[in-house]
Amino acid sequence: MKKSTFRDDCNCFALRQAARYVTQIYERHLGQIGVTAAQFTILAKLARKPGLPMTELADAMVMDRTTLVRALKPLQRDGLVVTEPSKENGRTNVFSLSPAGRDIFARAADAWQSAQEEFESQFGRTRAKALRAELFELTSS
């Protein structure tokens, strides 16, 4: 049996290296608006589904709650995300975009589109679509 080398055979290393590379593209574009790629994904989720409780938002983001709380704090501090008690259960908080958050999201969506186009021009649209499908399948339940 051939002994594998760490760099060539480590799925985790390859995925993390690729993630850092792709994140740099998106960060460069989104940074012009003042949001990170991670913040943009939270804004995008809340733009599509306002009023999400913490557990649903964490599950949708594939994040543990502690990490999500840390990611939400700057968005709340900057007035982009608002927290309010759930109408169904007053002990549960739900998260939504504020009017300022919707404005920033709209601007950031244009920057995201530019990043998306840059990545797909380098990687190829068909390959990018296939890659997304594989990656989403990996994290689907």
| Mean pLDDT of the region 17-39 | 96
Q: Minimum mean pLDDT among 1-10, 52-61, 82-91, 130-139: which range? A: 1-10
> pLDDT averaged over the chain?
93
pLDDT at 140: 83
DSSP the chain: -PPPPHHHH-HHHHHHHHHHHHHHHHHHHHTTTT--HHHHHHHHHHHHS-SEEHHHHHHHHT--HHHHHHHHHHHHHTTSEEEEE-SS-TTSEEEEE-HHHHHHHHHHHHHHHHHHHHHHHHH-HHHHHHHHHHHHHHH--
pTM: 0.86
The pLDDT confidence band at residue 4, using thresholds 50, 70 and 90, is low
Fold of domain 11-138? Arc Repressor Mutant, subunit A (1.10.10)
Per-residue pLDDT tens for 75-120? 999 999 999 998 888 788 999 999 999 999 999 999 999 999 999 9
Tell me, what's the pLDDT at 41? 96
Annotated domain spans of the chain: 11-138
Euclidean distance between CA atoms 26 and 23, whole angstroms: 5
